[in-house]
């Protein structure tokens, strides 16, 4: 887990961002679907982001009833349409917003933020592997944000 302006446990106030299709999507606040929202920050020129696409698609297949997957990228970067087509993710929400990355102070990719159904940050961090992504889901399930928090709870319980 890396440091960011928005911390685990913070409520993300709802705000509207532009999708790749030109529509609007609300991020944060209460999700009307009752699902958690996994925001995967990616870029067309990021090789690790590309390598993780099968993992994200597998996640949607396994957790789709409880998690909405949303891809997000910087609007200043080119090649988004070809990237979506190459990875077969045209049917998934794809946000083009520099503001979104700035709100979460994303400095490195790939990065993911998991919001619970109320719009509270359940977990966040770099996701360079399937294990990193699964750790974000486990952090939400266990209500423990990081391994550091886990050890601190165990130490204080003694």
Strands 67-73, 36-41: pairing is parallel
Radius of gyration of the chain (CA): 15
Percent of the chain residues topping a pLDDT of 90: 75
Q: What is the pLDDT of residues 86-141, one digit of tens each?
A: 999 999 999 999 999 999 999 999 999 999 999 999 999 999 999 999 989 988 88
Q: What is the mean pLDDT of residues 59-64?
A: 90
Average pLDDT of the residues in 55-82: 92
List the structure tokens of 12: 């993300």
**What integer pLDDT is reported at residue 31 of this predicted model?**
95
* 17 phi/psi in degrees, rounded to 5: -130, 160
Q: Residue 148: is its pLDDT beyond 90?
A: no
Q: Of all residues in the chain, what percent carry a pLDDT higher than 70?
A: 91
Helix (H) or strand (E) holding 72: strand 67-73
- Candidates 3.40.1260.10, 3.30.70.250, 3.40.30.10, 2.102.10.10; CATH matching 15-157: 3.40.30.10
Q: What is the arithmetic mean of pLDDT over 23-49?
A: 96
Class of residue 49 by CB neighbours under 10 A (exposed 0-12, middle 13-18, buried 19+): buried
- Over range 48-70, report the average pLDDT: 94
Beta strands 67-73 and 94-96 are parallel
Q: Residues 38, 5: contact at Cβ < 8 Å?
A: no
Nearest Cα neighbor of 52 from 139, 128, 137 is: 128
- When pLDDT is averaged across residues 57-69 and rounded to a whole number, the result is 93
- pLDDT score of 29: 96
């Amino acid at each position: 887990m890396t440091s960011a302006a928005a911390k685990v446990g913070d409520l993300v106030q709802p705000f509207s961002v532009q999708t790749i299709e030109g529509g609007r999507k609300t991020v944060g606040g209460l999700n009307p679907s009752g699902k958690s929202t996994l925001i995967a920050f990616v870029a067309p020129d990021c090789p690790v982001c590309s390598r993780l696409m099968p993992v994200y698609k597998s996640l949607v297949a396994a957790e789709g009833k409880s998690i909405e997957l949303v891809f997000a990228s910087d609007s200043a970067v080119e090649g988004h349409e070809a990237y979506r087509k190459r990875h077969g993710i045209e049917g998934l929400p794809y946000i083009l917003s520099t503001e979104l990355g700035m709100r979460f102070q994303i400095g490195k990719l790939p990065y993911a933020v998991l919001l619970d159904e109320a719009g509270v940050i359940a977990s966040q961090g770099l996701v360079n592997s399937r294990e990193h992504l699964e750790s974000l889901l486990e952090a939400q399930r266990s209500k423990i944000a990081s391994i550091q928090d886990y050890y601190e709870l165990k130490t204080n319980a003694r």
